[in-house]
A = this chain, B = another copy of it.
Amino acid sequence: MRLATLRDGSRDGLLVVVGRDGRRFARATGIAPTLQAALDGWNRAAPLLAELAARLEAGTADTEPLDETGLGPPLPRAYEWVDGSAYLTHVRLVRKARGAEPPPTLETDPLVYQGGSGALLGPRDPIPLPAGDPGLDLEAEVAVILGDVARGTGATDAAACVRLIVLANDVTLRNLIPAELAKGFGFFQSKPATAFSPFAVTPDELGGAWRDGRVHLPLRSSVVRAGGARLDSDPDAGAMHFSFFDLVAHLARTRDFCAGTILGGGTVSNEDPARGASCLAELRARETIAAGRPATPFLAAGDRVTVEMRDAGGRDIFGRIDQRVVPA
């Protein structure tokens, strides 16, 4: 099933179930007021939501026309947002471009960072561009929303922790990163609010494309410049070196996580440059390696970013992230 959060002026919005054609929704009133409430009592709520989804398809539920512009992120505020960097091509390219070596544990010890989670962006929210030259970039990603995860959970037990799958645009201010990482405490100001796809979907919605803790489908993102030029990419999201199950095990080594934690896989990246790049930094890295300097500019006011994913039959799974860059 596919779930979404309708903006109603409240902090957490209203939970709704979205039909297979993406054109209608049914309010989950009486089951769970919000997605967080559903996640808090998933074993009770999930079968009731699935039943509502079935009635929606059968035409026996009260439905309303869906307008993606009225949706917030599935979780407008989440208890944790942890983002991995599980596509090693991305890490290798970015580091090579700046003449640095990847960490020696690159293939054995996942890279993750703890992101801000209290104020997340909806799929059509503008991306604020701070003044100066911050190097605004997209990062198109796949992420999972977890149930409760106990400290010590291993990769083999992690499948049961994955409740929902979403897409994300992990907005990044590249030019703030060097000074911030030099201080040694990780990203902070360089990672403004992340945006999420309209729909959060249960893994069964992906059929066989969800296997081994990875989503084996192309992630389609685009940057459309204010002047009309566009960049497209469609790398295979299944190329994760570490699976989401591996990442869960990494997270849970020393602490518990509560239901509603969002875990990202990192910027989707493939070795084949023909598949494009899910962030501008990676294009710039390839340019720097080839020609000594980057040519592709970062995002500017008026630019538009889209992120979406289609199944093997061409059906849109998550709805579309579609954001415009505006001066902050």
Contacts and interface: CB of A to CB of B under 8 A. Distances in A.
A255 B192 contact: yes
A186 B187 contact: yes
B193 A130 contact: no
Interface in A162-207: 173, 176, 179, 181-193
Question: Which of A80, A191, A250 has the largest count of B CB atoms less than 10 A from its CB?
Answer: A80
A253 interface: yes
A258 B260 CA distance: 16
Contacts of A265: none
A307 to B, nearest CB: 19
Contacts of A186: 113-114, 184-187
A255 B116 contact: yes
Nearest to A112: B188
A7 interface: no
A193 B80 CA distance: 13
Given A109-B183, A112-B185, A185-B111, A257 B119 contact: yes
A185 B84 CA distance: 10
B118 A253 contact: no
B192 A254 contact: yes
A328 interface: yes
A117 interface: yes
Contacts of A78: 79
A64 interface: no
A114 B111 contact: no
B182 A185 contact: no
A117 B192 CA distance: 18
A325 to B, nearest CB: 14
A40 interface: yes
A233 interface: no
A327 interface: no
A221 interface: no
Interface string A60-85: 00000000000000000111101001
A114 B258 CA distance: 17
B113 A80 contact: no
Contacts of A105: 179, 183
B116 A114 contact: yes
A96 to B, nearest CB: 15
Nearest to A252: B189
A82 B186 CA distance: 12
A193 B79 contact: no
Contacts of A257: 116, 118-119
Interface in A100-130: 103, 105, 109, 111-119, 128, 130
A253 B238 CA distance: 35
A193 B150 CA distance: 12
A323 B77 CA distance: 30
Contacts of A173: 254
A4 B316 CA distance: 47
Given A40-B11, A79-B78, A187-B186, A256 B114 contact: no
